Amino acid sequence: MLTPIGKRILLIPVEVKAGTLLMPNAKPNQFNVVAIGDEVTKVKVGDIIYLEKHYGTEIQHQGEKYLVIEEGSILAKLD
């Protein structure tokens, strides 16, 4: 498993749906937190968050795509 460093957060996109249709080409703005760095205080693993329009760095690990962001890029989280 990847572990982000400092205030970084590892995310995967939440699938974007329009009614019953899956929109694979739509740019997601909702993400699931899968790992957090040791300095992150505002979210925890499993949270769903919204991000700024231009965000993070995409990385690939063991065939999976992840997004790494700084904690300050989070706009909101679902409760």
Residue identified by tokens 């909702």 is 30
CATH of the domain at 15: 2.30.33.40
* 10 in Cβ contact with 36 (< 8 Å): yes
Q: Does 64 map to a domain?
A: yes
Within a domain: 42: yes
pLDDT digits (tens, 9 = 90+) for 26-57: 556 789 999 999 999 999 999 999 987 777 89
- CA dihedral 21→57→71→47, nearest 10 degrees, is 30
- Whether the predicted pLDDT of 3 surpasses 80: yes
Residue 3 lies in a domain: no
Residue 21, pLDDT score: 55
Model-level pTM? 0.82
Within a domain: 2: no
Please give the pLDDT value at position 55. Answer: 79
Q: What is the mean pLDDT of the chain?
A: 86
Distances (CA, A) of 68 to 18, 20, 22, 23, 44: 26, 29, 24, 22, 14
| Domain assignment of residue 48, given as a range | 8-77
Is residue 18 scored above 70 in pLDDT?
no
Is residue 1 situated within a structural domain? no
Residue 25 lies in a domain: yes
Number of domains in the chain: 1
